[in-house]
């Protein structure tokens, strides 16, 4: 029936995509300078676009959490949840070069460092959760931030892929 990459999912009829293939398709198309191609416009999203998408994803994660828990004065609670996440994300993404490199590996490294640190800082600042609930809080926070970031990156990739590519005339 062919390779795993080429087979279709029996339930949905969609091709199965491996991480390597997804990363190449979504994040790693080489730029003009890297390939020497005649394209006038690269189809890889800029660091600014990715940073904006990630910011929207992380703020959406916090907003969803606040909405699901329905707690207190929204401005104060939003600040104490957004500030640790935004601050750690910025520091780690600059150190890793997430928006300079614009690849899946740098995003995953940034997520794997920034989110747990931010959740622990938020826990220290707020004073909750405590005990064994911290593990559940960390697991849920990691899972949902990754989900929101992935959705944002897929949306950006879809728009970038739809953009026309202009070629130089010989």
pLDDT in tens, 84-98: 999 999 999 999 999
d(CA 50, CA 160): 11
The confidence score (pLDDT) of residue 92 equals 96
pTM of the model: 0.66
Average pLDDT score over the chain: 76
Distances in Å between the Cα of 137 and the Cα atoms of 59, 62, 104, 130 are 17, 13, 25, 9
Does 128 fall in a domain?
Answer: yes
- Render pLDDT for 34-77 as a digit per residue (tens, 0 to 9): 444 444 345 788 889 999 999 899 888 888 877 776 665 667 77
Return the percentage of the chain with pLDDT > 70, whole number.
Answer: 67
Does 100 fall in a domain?
Answer: yes
Does 14 fall in a domain?
Answer: no
d(CA 57, CA 64): 10
Per the structure, how many domains does the chain have? Answer: 1
Work out the pLDDT band at 7, boundaries 50, 70, 90.
very low
Q: Which domain holds residue 141?
A: 45-162
Q: Is residue 32 over pLDDT 50?
A: no
From 4, 26, 33, select the one nearest 17 (Cα to Cα).
4
95, 74 Cβ separation under 8 angstroms: no
């Amino acid at each position: 029936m062919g390779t795993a990459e080429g087979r279709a999912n029996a339930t949905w009829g969609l091709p199965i995509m491996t991480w390597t293939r997804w990363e190449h398709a979504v994040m790693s198309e080489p730029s003009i300078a890297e390939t020497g191609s005649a394209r006038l416009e690269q189809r890889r999203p800029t660091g600014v676009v990715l940073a904006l998408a990630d910011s929207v994803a992380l703020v959406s994660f916090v907003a969803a959490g606040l909405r699901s828990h329905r707690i207190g004065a929204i401005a104060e609670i939003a600040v104490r949840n957004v500030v640790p996440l935004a601050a750690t994300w910025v520091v780690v993404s600059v150190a890793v070069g997430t928006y300079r490199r614009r690849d899946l590996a740098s995003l995953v490294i940034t997520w794997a460092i920034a989110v747990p640190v931010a959740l622990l800082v938020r826990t220290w600042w707020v004073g909750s959760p405590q005990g064994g609930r911290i593990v559940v809080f960390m697991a849920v926070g990691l899972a949902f931030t990754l989900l929101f970031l992935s959705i944002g990156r897929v949306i950006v990739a879809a728009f970038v892929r739809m953009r026309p590519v202009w070629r130089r005339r010989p």
